[in-house]
Amino acid sequence: MSDHPICPCGSQATYKECCGQYHSGAPAPTPEALMRSRFSAFVQNKTDYLMATWHPSTRPEHLDLRDSPDWVGLSVLGSDTNG
């Protein structure tokens, strides 16, 4: 009975204040926000959102989340990977 579920992307913010707004149509302001929102969409089986935000050149014609071994976690966050 949680009115404010934590966002599945791991941001510690509520889903509604985090990725939920992007799933509702708001543009993600940063690449990280987009990445998080797509991860949340994957967790929640929002294939429409995944397809809509997928670059056409790499997007599969049909998306079957049960056949996506790459999506085991959110590992790309930010760009401070130097070192």
Binding site for Zn ion (CB under 5 A): 7, 9, 11, 18-19, 36, 40
What is the Cα–Cα distance from 31 to 36, expressed in whole angstroms? 9
Nearer to Zn ion, 13 or 63 (CB): 13
Nearer to Zn ion, 18 or 50 (CB): 18
Nearer to Zn ion, 21 or 47 (CB): 21
To Zn ion, the closest distance from the beta carbon of 7 in angstroms equals: 3
What is the Cα–Cα distance from 61 to 2, expressed in whole angstroms? 36
The alpha carbon of residue 71 and the mean position of all alpha carbons in its chain are separated, in whole angstroms, by 10
